Structure 1
């Protein structure tokens, strides 16, 4: 491993009379060379104001989470020495150790960029509280490892368990293929675990009989245990898969922890999902996940009987989907680096980073999900969150508009596609044409979130459109844009899905439109009253980047508050909906936003056990849920 040349330590301090406070930085020169006329860049979600107050440093520029500073003129940093400086004037206070610098690099006078190792954000002025234990030991009311817990289970525990389950004589080719699919799923998730399913009879195994019964309904199954046989009755292919997965969970738990878990000797499970939409969203723009990782997450969703993968493919930080009509989207638009049009953000350092999914890779991921009865909903986030798009296609901007006339909540200047530029719709039409060849889902998610309140108001073209169409303000323009997009998708046989802000400014036609309510639970109820189909994903319960405890040393974001696993588990989306609009609630969704997920350990710490908690909320009736039981079973879960 190469020896680090630089290290950056950082700490946050409060300032009396100010809410944001400030940062103290120390850059250590660990190299053998003195440096001068250099610059320091760090990325942080805790952004500075436009003109922060600096001690012993010069502020140069900020672009969203990118911050650049220089030492005083004539300063030389010798080997083994350090440069300490203070930056006061932050837009918000730091609340956790992950609110400081996520990455840093030094730009030398010769144009070379060198990474700096970044330490945790330290806390000045008060005690730095360690992270607490987040999950209790749990307590089992029944000794069976099922997650999510079924709608109905009446089981008697056995004293032993079969080596494996195998198809009884008479199983047809589809049943055997389904066993192979679930056996392969288990093998991918638990690579050193003993296989719970065998396609051939096995000594000390147990025969599994199959029976189709459409009267059970979609995604439903029944398991009957008696003697040396197990019977699986299923309503459709999804139900068969879910029944097989439940059997694998039962056997996996009994084998891994025989002191706590058993395999049934008698009894039955009668099961079907609570909601039709049991979703998980993954942001691949802030951090790129290779194809193998995306498939791994889809496997985990299948293990928990979730059925929607919402794939957030574009944002300000990068465009990740190959569009052959516009190759620059995945060259310029998918590359961040010190000398690139898109500057480093959120953990990027001296080396440029690039990543996108080829159309062949997309097809492989969609096909993989399909074999597991998971629908892939693609998202391109428009009209806001389009910095990467506009960097790749500058012809989509109004050249008469001032370059920093508005900023998004994340600090990106002029980051929205302009509804008054006709070329915007030509561009999106070609994008949609390629997307419908890749994604069989009837939904295309078009984002629609976080358009800043004064967006486009300095654009002469937008002002003329407002005058011609009798529109007033940003959100009326956004509604005008969204209605055109809805019509374009309808022409292509697709339905609009979006975030809750799609309803702003008059919204779009609610008929068939599905909106994901993320800002707060009350928004979901209001959308339902307006006639929209609603999926509940409130940040206060279902955003898996949120911190799980208030202590300083617990990592994660905190804008939506603290979201401990117990709160995620017990949150009841249906409890927000009165009976007259309850039919508009389609389901629930976990959201994995990737600003804080710089490595796999952070991902696992923040996503688990809250993802399986949402899976149980999506599947299990409220009356059948148990936090103590869940806490006892969830440690058996696969990890990312």
Structure 2
């Protein structure tokens, strides 16, 4: 039997009286042998519920997105035959083709596991409409390729672009190194592209001069075009942004048949709209090799984004090497059939493991530093900790009933217990190693999606609540977060988290940075409560959301439909009162990876919306132009 010997097809259909509908599955035996006495496991974000009923299959078990069914007694599936079964009543209706099974495998006698090929979800009962184009036909009214668009420019085009730009004689070594950095960046992103700079004079080139200007902000720059191109900046970051803009303009102007030009004269005066222009990447649901993370940093730098939020742990896996606790990655970074970490979200019969060594982390931090990007690490606590608890079961209250609560994703008893002192000893050692790896001011500690009945069946938690006069789950969470905040402060770090950190009384406000993801109004409420805020609303900046209502469009839909035009036009300040605007630090896109089973899915969902968020974070509202963006964004590099 081989991987291709079985195929699972699935479809969703509406059911009268039940808006969640039903799944219909067909397992096709394409092997040369009969199949009997087997079970089937599949992973799906559209989960069975306690009210589900099953036809022609015996439900065995569900763990979050993992589902297991047993074939009816006596069923033998001969070569060429199919087994059909149905699941009636789900946790939600399926709305898109990625809402069905993401992976599947057979469980045979002797604990043997055989992969099954899985197709996208089909729609029964109506026609699955094709999605609309993501972008209109663009129109660049000015012949300059710059993305994100600058705050101010007044330029006249040259007849021909220079072959390359090169530093004038006597340029300080720091500026030459900046040129070298952008040469390397361009060469990594565009392997067949003609580099726009040279360190030595070249025939047909143009000289590039650098001037220090302390009157400019730390990320601001100015470029003057004439016989010589002159960059003014106060910092290496501003200088690098200017060089990146020049690289964009010159490479586009030199492309055959391009409508873009390089300036003969004029000026660009530019600075970012917001100081925080970030992108988050969830590496727990799907693992990304270090080379992919490094390329994503390059793409952020090309867009003049300055924050990379690295979501390193979650229920599905713990991805960060912690030398004090090798089991975190030995157990917590592996998903395999028949283990305490069953397959989730696309995993199949073969064990899947992936984590970042501390050397990997140092390479990512170094690349970020060279590009002006700060790496903000996240360990998601106290919830979303299934992987950590699998690796360190001593952190659970042994008297707490199993499955006494479930997360919104269906993981049982998935939160670190605030009443267990060893929890804080464990996290202290984790933070000690993180501090040595990550120089950033912030450590992000998650704090999201703790179920509202978490810990209430734990005798240890009940005793702590009585001792400290704590009320309910969120009172316990606040107690936990305040201790974590103090631990971070003792290590010279500041707490960042998702907006639920504010629940139950929250933490000390001064300096704390919270990310408003649930809906835009949350950001204003957090700012009023004294927190610094980064706007990351799922309704505009979650890059895993579907981009069209059509069933054939892939992605998640809990936050609605998020076409690129909406991500581009969304104004993060929204209804922020003027006096609260200083609390709004900036914007961030989030790449949650539940639906990213392939490079194709990643590129389809992330681009061009990541470019839209980059321009929303940099460009003044009055300078944004949707049709210009639509003309430029398709040329952005992809993963």
Superposed CA offset, 1:503-522 (max 9, x none)? 00000001000000000000
Distance 1:2 1:304 in 2: 44
Superposed CA offset, 1:215-238 (max 9, x none)? 1121111111113x2111112010
- Residue in 2 that maps onto 1:466: 465
Cα 1:225–1:122 change in 2 (3 A) is same
Distance 2:627 2:404 in 1: 52
Cα 1:238–1:360 change in 2 (3 A) is same
- Residue in 2 that maps onto 1:620: 619
Q: What runs of 5+ residues in structure 2 fail to find an aligned partner?
A: none
Q: Superposed, which structure 2 residues align to 1:536-575 within 5 Å?
A: 536-575=535-574
Correspondence 1:421 to 2:420: yes
Cα 1:577–1:58 change in 2 (3 A) is same
- Residue in 1 that maps onto 2:204: 204
Alpha-carbon distance, 1:5 to partner: 1.1
Superposed CA offset, 1:424-482 (max 9, x none)? 00000000001000000110000000000100000011011111111111000000000
Superposed CA offset, 1:548-600 (max 9, x none)? 00000000000000000000000001233110111100000000000000011
Superposed CA offset, 1:228-278 (max 9, x none)? x21111120100000000000001211236432111111110011111111
- Residue in 2 that maps onto 1:609: 608
Distance 2:160 2:2 in 1: 53
- SS in structure 1 opposite 2:121? strand
- Residue in 1 that maps onto 2:81: 81
Distance 2:212 2:103 in 1: 55
Correspondence 1:168 to 2:180: no
Answer whether contact 2:3 2:115 (CA < 8 A) is retained. no
- Residue in 2 that maps onto 1:370: 369
More divergent stretch after superposition (253-262 vs 5-14): 253-262
Alpha-carbon distance, 1:111 to partner: 2.1
- SS in structure 1 opposite 2:23? strand
Q: Superposed, which structure 2 residues align to 1:459-498 within 5 Å?
A: 459-498=458-497
- SS in structure 1 opposite 2:573? helix
Answer whether contact 2:97 2:121 (CA < 8 A) is retained. yes
Q: Superposed, which structure 2 residues align to 1:198-597 within 5 Å?
A: 198-227=198-227, 229-256=228-255, 258-597=257-596
Superposed CA offset, 1:300-319 (max 9, x none)? 00000000000000000000
Alpha-carbon distance, 1:411 to partner: 0.5
- Residue in 2 that maps onto 1:106: 106
Alpha-carbon distance, 1:295 to partner: 0.2
Answer whether contact 2:252 2:258 (CA < 8 A) is retained. no
Distance 1:585 1:501 in 2: 17
Q: Superposed, which structure 2 residues align to 1:85-164 within 5 Å?
A: 85-164=85-164
Answer whether contact 1:131 1:551 (CA < 8 A) is retained. yes
Alpha-carbon distance, 1:88 to partner: 0.7
Alpha-carbon distance, 1:3 to partner: 6.4
Alpha-carbon distance, 1:52 to partner: 2.3
Answer whether contact 1:35 1:108 (CA < 8 A) is retained. no
Distance 1:386 1:615 in 2: 31
Answer whether contact 2:544 2:605 (CA < 8 A) is retained. yes
Superposed CA offset, 1:88-112 (max 9, x none)? 1100000000000001111112322
- Residue in 1 that maps onto 2:37: 37
Distance 2:470 2:196 in 1: 62
More divergent stretch after superposition (330-339 vs 253-262): 253-262
Answer whether contact 1:253 1:636 (CA < 8 A) is retained. no
- SS in structure 2 opposite 1:214? coil
Alpha-carbon distance, 1:339 to partner: 2.2
Q: Superposed, which structure 2 residues align to 1:16-31 within 5 Å?
A: 16-31=16-31
Aligned residue pair count = 639
- SS in structure 1 opposite 2:224? strand
Distance 1:603 1:9 in 2: 23
Answer whether contact 1:149 1:625 (CA < 8 A) is retained. yes
Distance 2:51 2:115 in 1: 25
Q: TM-score, normalised by structure 2?
A: 0.99
Correspondence 1:195 to 2:195: yes
Answer whether contact 1:50 1:62 (CA < 8 A) is retained. no
Distance 1:428 1:311 in 2: 18
Q: TM-score, normalised by structure 1?
A: 0.99
Distance 2:195 2:597 in 1: 33
Q: What runs of 5+ residues in structure 1 fail to find an aligned partner?
A: none
Distance 1:360 1:566 in 2: 39
- SS in structure 1 opposite 2:101? coil
Alpha-carbon distance, 1:2 to partner: 6.6
**RMSD value, Cα:** 1.0
Superposed CA offset, 1:604-631 (max 9, x none)? 0000000010000111111111111111
Alpha-carbon distance, 1:169 to partner: 1.2
Distance 2:123 2:254 in 1: 45
Distance 2:536 2:258 in 1: 37
Cα 1:119–1:450 change in 2 (3 A) is same
Alpha-carbon distance, 1:51 to partner: 5.3
